[in-house]
Each structure stands twice: as structure tokens, then as C-alpha cells.
Amino acid sequence: MVKIGLLGYGTVGTGTAEIILDASGRNNLLREIEIAKVGVRTLDKPRSPQLPTGVLTTDLSAIVCDPEIDIVVELLGGLEPSRSLILKAINNGKHIVTANKAVIARHGEEIYTAANQAGVYVLLEGAVGGGIPVIKPLKQSLGVNRIQTVIGIVNGTTNYILTQMTQEGADFAEVLAEAQKLGYAEADPTADVDGYDAADKIAILAAIAFNDRIKREDIPCEGIRQIDATDISYADSLDFVIKLLAIAKANPDDDSLQVRVHPTLVAKDHPLANVNDVYNAILVEGEPLGQVMFFGPGAGKGATASAVVSDIINIVGILQTSQTTQKLDPLLRCPHEHFTQLTPIAEIVTRFYARFLCRDVPGVIGHLGTSFGNHNVSLESVVQIGFRNNLAEIVVVTHDVREGNFREALKEIESLESIDSIPSILRVL
Amino acid sequence: MVKIGLLGYGTVGTGTAEIILDASGRNNLLREIEIAKVGVRTLDKPRSPQLPTGVLTTDLSAIVCDPEIDIVVELLGGLEPSRSLILKAINNGKHIVTANKAVIARHGEEIYTAANQAGVYVLLEGAVGGGIPVIKPLKQSLGVNRIQTVIGIVNGTTNYILTQMTQEGADFAEVLAEAQKLGYAEADPTADVDGYDAADKIAILAAIAFNDRIKREDIPCEGIRQIDATDISYADSLDFVIKLLAIAKANPDDDSLQVRVHPTLVAKDHPLANVNDVYNAILVEGEPLGQVMFFGPGAGKGATASAVVSDIINIVGILQTSQTTQKLDPLLRCPHEHFTQLTPIAEIVTRFYARFLCRDVPGVIGHLGTSFGNHNVSLESVVQIGFRNNLAEIVVVTHDVREGNFREALKEIESLESIDSIPSILRVL
């Protein structure tokens, strides 16, 4: 039997126990696992599934030091005490399974370094995309390609909000309130709606896909608070939907990477455009493969527990076939060792959508064209969509342009007499 | 170095060599692989990539016996000599990587049994879904779930034809001719358009997902030759698209499985409905996971080579970490040992779409209702769509019904005076 210690017995923890304790009809390796210890904050609460006496404990530190335990499954979430417990477990020779994107995105370096020194695995399929197998396929299957891009819809809350805004024509604030009522958004929605959760996840995906460490704090990150129903409707009429995308992209000219999170116009016939509600999807593009996409439930008890337990049985399978004193499987261990340079946002090349409120319609299109031209911004389309408070509303979609040039053009345009304001600026995939 | 022997140097073989011989920017394990031998039919043809002298040989049998070679990569396709060479290689202790769905679907039993006895792996990611990682995720990640269904669009040719028929309103014969011109369909299109290729692939997927051996010849299989532009257009007006689906489904009441291939009406908001052209997708549903879908290029040199090389490096990784004399990894070896019972098609429960040409409109709807009622077929909708040659065209969609009952009702309906003919009968997902 392989003995595991669970840190945390909340939603994902109980989901994990439910799978392991009800093994019939599932992979036979589940019968080789014993839940030896489960660390919780208090012993007073009733727990389901129930565990044998002595399994529950409030001494989490004892679990990560327990010589009986082979695998520590960290399901506490958050940075501390998760980070310290994981490091302590590694130093005690335990393999780690975690669904904690925040601690890996922010403290991955010391965790991976410690794990490689100790000769243990740190598996984290549940940290990104809930139940969608994506981390292991990236490590084991897609790495023979030269990866060019990884683009994910990796936050279910914001995808639900944007889907509702699109389908109902509703405003952000009202959909957020509804999502909070339904339990799809937290009381404090910051981590989701401001894109921080998505940034944690793309930091993890990019590190694996491009075999480089990523400084989480260097990832430019825009959320969806400023998305207006107006822009969703204009995007629709231009055959786009708006999605919060987490993007990692190899720059063709050098070794540097672009990693960023922002709301993005996605063409309706793009595979990511049909990923709606709380579903997640991760699209990977590589040479010579082309595009593959992984789609599924990005969160939830059963989905995340499925990913966590799959990591556990992967380690169980390895423990059955090789001695622990041997080398780690090069496809499952963490191979990257160096931080890579992230491209500053001003240097990325992308298309833009911008909406202008203008005073003088006949003149303004010429002025816009001139200002954009002054900064080498070439326009794909200029559409006058309507009127709002006696101001003409003009929407512009650019060709690919260096972001810095586009921003400089906007500065010039803002100072034009004929421009009242620029309510929206969005990137286009 | 791990030495591999390639059997075949056609499209996928040269694609495989291109990845291995150009390792920069890809997984480092590629540098541990040496292409030691490549078996071809003739040495006279120019080959690209070029191989060192002595690597190319016409003696395929010598490759599978060569004591230097660790992994035999079978890329010949077809049943023989692939089957014999694979078995011989296994008996000589070689691990096998193959992209040959036909030989695995039809001779999997003896191949897997021999491999388990010899203690070698048979990996076949390239056999289903081209470059889409789906075999390994099924084995390593999804098996902790109780798998309920696997539904695939696994044949690019038929998906291309159906997509073109849908988008252009064109007939089967004319789109097939166009597809043959473009190289998307073979001169003899039987294996694709009659569903045999899809049946091979679902046999393989079902065996892995449900951990049971599948008798390929027991899989009911309908192709797309009889699909009429009329039905595509009626399906569209009912908010469906028509896709050739390969379906494997656990029967909830017993241990038996449904496995079948047939054109199917798929609701437009279903994830599989948006999988178009030569793309493939495999949807897997399990408890507690829910639905995940894998999407990507289902064929082509680079895509299939990506899958083949990923299998190779998986074995290389294992060879680096454990002695070959040790047990096989239980998550990568073939675990199933017994054939399962497939449900006869008359016993499956599904929805149906049927189109009737009728003489007497006012009376016929009552007659249809009565005949269906006599056989416990309950109707979801009855739509009179139009007239054709003075006959009224009526389309019926049923609720879930036992196929046997539905067929008996049709027999009764065929004999009705008011019914001219029943040009189309299709299942509905």
C-alpha cells in the first residue's frame, strides 16, 4: 500500500477521498492507496466521507514529517502554510500532489529546486483547468514539438460572467452579483475578475510548455471589470466574442516569451470562441503538430479531485515499477532551471479594437487615420456604429501592431479636438 | 542512446525522422534517440530526410530481430506484414510504437497478450486522433473516473465531407469527388466513408477507456454514403448538425458495452457540433469528472509524427529511470485481458430522426402517431417540412427509444397506405 497524507479536507479534499474510498469501476491502482492521515483545522466538524479513527488530525506539520507517508496531497490553497508544508514534506522525501496554482505560480522556483534535490515529484494537474488533463499531456506528449503558443480560457468565473453578458446583453455588475448568488463567484471576486487567477495558471502552463521559469509578478494582467455590454455587442456585429485569455507565446526572433492575461476579441469561428459558461479550454500550438485544444470543467469538486487522484496514481504506478532511489522520470519531473525574460507589454505585437466617442464625424475618420499612420498603425476596419449622447461612436480594428506604437497613437488621438473620449481598448486574437 | 528501428519511411515515417533529427527547441530526450535502422521496400528512391549509409534496409525482418534495437516503430499500416513483424519484434523483447489502428483493432488481443508476456510496451497514440493526445490521457489521467461514454469524431475525411455538405448545401458524391481531388479522400474511399476506419478507432478507445477487449467485427457500423443534402438542411432547421460519430457507452445496468459508428444528429450547442473540416475530437464523460474533450488535427504527417515521437520518448524516459527487467508501468501497459459483451444494436436506446414521404397529409400524422405508439416509441417532434414530387415530407424526432422497437414501428409504418417511402433514418445524440 502507498500511504498518502491529505492536507485539507474541504471541497477537493473530500472529493479526493470519495474517489479513493469508492474504487469499484475505476483504475485498479486506487486499491493500492491508503489515506493514512488527513490534516484539518478542527476535529469538531462532522466529515463526509467519514474516516477511520486517528486519521484526522490538526497537526499538519506531523503529517509532512510522518515516515509512514509516501505522498503528501496539499489541498489547502493559498500561499501559507501551504508553501512551508510542501517544502517540509519535500525535505522529508515525500512526493507532492497539489491543486494549488497560487503557491506553484509564486513559489514554484524553491519548490521545484527542492524537489529535484530530494528526488521527489511535484505533480499539479489539478492546479490548471480543473479536471482537464493538460499538464501531463504538455509534459509527456506535446514536448516533442516546438511550442509556439499556449492560449487558455482558464478562469471559469470570468468565462461565466462574459458568457452571460454576451447571451443576455447584461452589464458586468449585475452578472457578477448573480454569479455571486449562484456560487460561481466569490464574495471578494478580485482574484478572478482582475485576472490574477488566470495569471497564476498561465505562469504554470508557460513554464511547462516552454521549459522556462516564469516570474509571476512580471505577467501583465488586465481583468474584465471594464468590459462594457456595448463592446460585447459591437464585437458581436464584427463576428467576435470577448473572452478573458491567458496567453503565452514564443517570440520567433529570440528566446524570450510573451506571457499576458487580458480580455480579448476572439473570432467566432476560432475553437476558443465556443467555450462558454464555467468551462475552460487550453489551446496549444506547436511545430509540426498544429493546434490541439483541451476542453472541460475548469473547477468543481469532482473535476479537480479527478485530476488530483490521477496524479496520485501516476506516482503509485512509478513506485510499483522502480525503486525510489532511482532517477526521476525525465518527463514527469520539473526540468526547467532558469528564469526567462518576459517581453514588456509595449513590445508585443497584436491587433487592437478601440472605441472612440467623437464630436465631428466627417473630419474625425481622417484625423484617426493620420494619427494612426504617424505611428505605423495600420487599420483593418473603421466602422461608425452609432450615436451616443450626440456623440458618434467609431470602432477601429487594427492589423498587427507593436503595442507601444498603438499606445503612442492613442495619446496623439486623445488630444484631438474631435475626440471626446476612448471608452474601450481591447486586444484582438 | 536508445536505438529505434522504423518500419516504413512514408509520410509518417519521414515526419518522425524530421522531428528526431532536428531536436533543437524540443524535448531534450530526443537527443537520446538514434534511428538505427529504417525498413523500406526499395533502396532506389531518393529519401528526405537523408539517413546515414547502412540505416536504410529492405530486410524488415532483420530489424525486428536486431539485438541492438530497443524500440520498433511500425508505420507500415495495414494488417500484414505489420502484424507478423510486430509479434516478432515483441518476441525479441522490443518495445513497440505504432500508428496502425487497423492492426491493433483487429489483432490487438494477440499483440497485447504477447507484449504482456514479453514485458514490453505497445504504445499507439498516433493510431487515434492523429496528433491529439488522447490514449495516454485516457490511460493515465481519466481512469480514476467511472467512464460513462467516449464519443469521437475520429475520421477526418468524413468530417470534411459532412462539413462541406453542410456549408455548401452540396451532395455527397460531388463533395467526395472534390475531397479526392484535394487529397482528403482516397481513390478507394471505402474505409473512410463506410465508417470502418472510425470503427477501428473506437474499438481501440473503448478498450482503453473501459478496460475491456472489444471484438472489432461486432461493432455495428454505418457510413455516410446515404446522407442526403435534404437531411442536412432539415437537421439545420431543427438546430442539429450531422456528424459521423464513433460511440462507446457503458450500459448502466450490467457490465456490457455499446460500441457503434453511425452518422448522428448533434445539437448545435454540443461541443462536438463545432468540430469541422478534417479536425477530430474525442469527448469523454466520466464520474465524477463530467465531460472533457480533446480536439485537434486527426491526421497528417506532422500531427501523427508528433504522437509517434511522444510515444518513443515516453519509453526512453522509462528506460532511463528503471531497469527493463522490472515490472511494466501499470498505467502504460495494456491492462485488459477479457473480451466484453457488446450490446446488439436492436437493444441500444437512442433518439431517432426519420423522414417520411407521404400521400395523405391530414391522415398520416395520426397514423404515424398510432404506429409509433403501438411500439412504445414516443415522439419529441413531428414537423411537416415541405412537399417533394407532390408528396408531403414529414420529419419525426423521437425521444429515447429501444432501437428494436423503433425498427418494428417503422415496419408497420412502411406498410401504411399513406406512406410512400422512408428516405432517411438517422440516430440523434
The string of DSSP letters for A24-72 reads: TTS-GGGGGEEEEEEE-S-S-S--SS---TTTEES-HHHHHH-TT-SEE
Q: Look at residue B199 and tell me if it is in a domain.
A: yes
Which of A2, A24, A27 to probe the B interface (max B CBs under 10 A)?
A27
pLDDT over threshold 60, residue B324: no
- Residues B148-199: pLDDT tens digits? 999 999 999 999 999 999 999 999 999 999 999 988 899 999 999 999 999 9
pLDDT of A67 reads: 97
- B126 and B52 together in one domain: yes
- B142 and B276 together in one domain: yes
pLDDT of B384 reads: 82
Amino acid at B161: I
Q: Is A43 exposed, middle or buried (0-12, 13-18, 19+ CB in 10 A)?
A: exposed
Interfacial B residues in 292-311 facing A (CB < 8 Å): 292-297, 300-303, 305-307, 309-310
% of chain B residues with pLDDT over 90: 86
DSSP letter, residue A398? E
Nearest residue to B244 (alpha-carbon basis) of B195, B286, B210: B195
Distance from CA of A32 to the nearest CA of B (A): 12
Nearest to A289 among B289, B303, B335 (CB): B303
Nearest to B310 among A140, A302, A329 (CB): A140
CA torsion through residues A405, A411, A415, A417, sign = positive
Residue B201 falls in the annotated catalytic set: yes
Contact B4, B63 (CB under 8 A): no
Distance from CA of B267 to the nearest CA of A (A): 14
**Residue with grid cell 501551504, as numbered in its chain:** A82
- B272 and B368 together in one domain: no
> How far is it, in rounded angstroms, from Cα A83 to Cα B233?
58
pTM of the model: 0.95
- A43 and A112 together in one domain: yes
- A359 and A395 together in one domain: yes
* CATH number of the structural domain spanning residue B172: 3.30.360.10
- B409 and B274 together in one domain: no
pLDDT of B26 reads: 96
Interfacial B residues in 115-154 facing A (CB < 8 Å): 125, 131-133, 136-137, 140-146
Nearest residue to B294 (alpha-carbon basis) of A154, A204, A133: A133
Across the 429 residues of chain A, what is the mean pLDDT of every consecutive 10-residue run?
96 97 96 97 91 95 97 96 98 97 95 95 97 96 97 97 95 94 91 97 96 94 95 95 98 88 97 95 98 95 97 94 74 86 93 92 85 95 84 94 97 93 96
Nearest to B292 among A143, A296, A320 (CB): A296
> How much is the average pLDDT of B31-55?
94
- Residues B295-312: pLDDT tens digits? 999 989 999 999 999 999
> How far is it, in rounded angstroms, from Cα A58 to Cα A63?
9
Distance from CA of B129 to the nearest CA of A (A): 10
Distance from CA of A113 to the nearest CA of B (A): 19
Distance from CA of B415 to the nearest CA of A (A): 45
- B61 and B91 together in one domain: yes
Between strands A379-388 and A391-398, the pairing is: antiparallel
Q: Look at residue B341 and tell me if it is in a domain.
A: no
Cβ–Cβ gap B331/A29 under 8 Å: yes
Q: Look at residue A329 and tell me if it is in a domain.
A: no
Cβ neighbours of A150 in B, within 8 Å: none
Q: How many CB atoms sit inside 10 A of residue B403's CB? A: 19
- Residues B370-410: pLDDT tens digits? 999 999 999 999 988 888 888 999 999 999 999 999 999 99
Domain residues for the domain of B292 are 135-296
H or E stretch including A175? Answer: helix A172-182
- B317 and B366 together in one domain: no
Nearest chain A alpha carbon to B330: A317
Cβ–Cβ gap B310/A132 under 8 Å: no
Cβ neighbours of A290 in B, within 8 Å: 131, 296-297, 300, 302-303
Q: Look at residue B331 and tell me if it is in a domain.
A: no
> How far is it, in rounded angstroms, from Cα B329 to Cα B334?
10
Nearest chain B alpha carbon to A270: B274
pLDDT of A405 reads: 97
Q: Look at residue A221 and tell me if it is in a domain.
A: yes
Q: Which grid cell sits at B326?
A: 522490472
Q: What is the DSSP string of B250-300?
A: E-TTSS-EEEEEEEEEEETTSGGGG--TTEEEEEEEEETTEEEEEEEE-SS
B45 at the A interface (CB within 8 A)?
Answer: no
pLDDT of A324 reads: 52
H or E stretch including A365? Answer: helix A361-374
Amino acid at A213: R
Q: Look at residue A330 and tell me if it is in a domain.
A: no
DSSP letter, residue A339? B
Cβ–Cβ gap A322/B317 under 8 Å: no
Number of folded domains that form chain B: 3
> How much is the average pLDDT of B254-266?
94
* CATH number of the structural domain spanning residue A407: 3.30.70.260
Q: Look at residue A106 and tell me if it is in a domain.
A: yes
Q: Look at residue B339 and tell me if it is in a domain.
A: no
- B160 and B246 together in one domain: yes
Q: Which grid cell sits at B246?
A: 464513433
H or E stretch including B63? Answer: helix B60-65
- A185 and A75 together in one domain: no
Q: How confident is the model at residue B321 (pLDDT cuts 50, 70, 90)?
A: confident
> How far is it, in rounded angstroms, from Cα A213 to Cα A104?
11
- A140 and A204 together in one domain: yes
Q: How many CB atoms sit inside 10 A of residue A65's CB? A: 15
> How much is the average pLDDT of B234-241?
95
- B359 and B310 together in one domain: no
